[in-house]
Each structure stands twice: as C-alpha cells, then as structure tokens.
C-alpha cells in the first residue's frame, strides 16, 4: 500500500524567503505526482502535475522536482509572499488505469509579513 509522507507538518517563514516542501512515497512505481494548495475553508487547487517520466515542472515561482527512484518530490516556492500561506498537499497516482490518488497529510505554511 502506497504511503505518502510530508515533513514538516507546519512551516513558518518571513516574507521573501524561499520555501522548500518535501513529499516522500514508499512505492516508486507511480504514474504521476500532483501538488495541491488548500486555503482554509476552500477546496484543493492543483498547482503542478509531474508525470513519472519527468524530473521537474515549473509554473511561475513554483518548481516541483521528482526523483522516482528515491521516492521523493520537492516543491520550491521562490520569494515567498503572505499570499502563499496555505496548506500544501502532494498526491501520487499509481498507474495509468488507476485514478486513485494517495495523499500526504500536508504542510501548513505561514509566510510572515
């Protein structure tokens, strides 16, 4: 059974600092990995999707890397802003014909102004 872990559970940084969020998974046979953001009381917003054949994906200040062999993904957020404060979750999908996602518990980020 796939287990997804996100450490740390919470992170507080001053504005302008770069954020590094970690996600690890036990079964390296994944189809893709997706990073989400969740604001309090809201749904999950998709940030980045990395296919198993890719090493990284970028969108604006966000960059996600994937190392399948070691079962790790890292989400980097450059020059953090107070608006980046949210919970960030990673989720892995096992196979192309299996759409179930295994989620980590999330990292709650606070960016202090």
Partner 1 sequence: DAGVIQSPRHEVTEMGQEVTLRCKPISGHNSLFWYRQTMMRGLELLIYFNNNVPIDDSGMPEDRFSAKMPNASFSTLKIQPSEPRDSAVYFCASNSRGETFFGQGTRLTVV
Contact positions toward partner 1, by CB under 8 A? Answer: 32, 34, 36, 41-46, 49, 89, 91, 93, 96, 99-101, 103, 105-106
Of 46 and 110, the one with the shorter C-beta distance to partner 1 is: 46
Q: Which of 90, 92, 93, 94 is nearest to 106 (CA)?
A: 90
Of 71 and 106, the one with the shorter C-beta distance to partner 1 is: 106
Minimal distance, residue 15 CB to partner 1, in Å: 28
Of 30 and 80, the one with the shorter C-beta distance to partner 1 is: 30
């Amino acid at each position: 059974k796939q287990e997804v872990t996100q450490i740390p559970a919470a992170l507080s940084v001053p504005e302008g600092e770069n954020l590094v969020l970690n996600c690890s998974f036990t079964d390296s046979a994944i189809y893709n990995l997706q990073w989400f953001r969740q604001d309090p009381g809201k749904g999950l917003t998709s940030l980045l999707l990395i296919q198993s054949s890719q090493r990284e994906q970028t969108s604006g200040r966000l960059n996600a890397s994937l190392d399948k062999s070691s079962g790790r993904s890292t989400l980097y957020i450059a020059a953090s802003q107070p608006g980046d404060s949210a919970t960030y979750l990673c989720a892995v999908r096992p196979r192309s014909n299996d759409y179930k996602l295994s989620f980590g518990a999330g990292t709650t980020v606070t960016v202090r102004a």
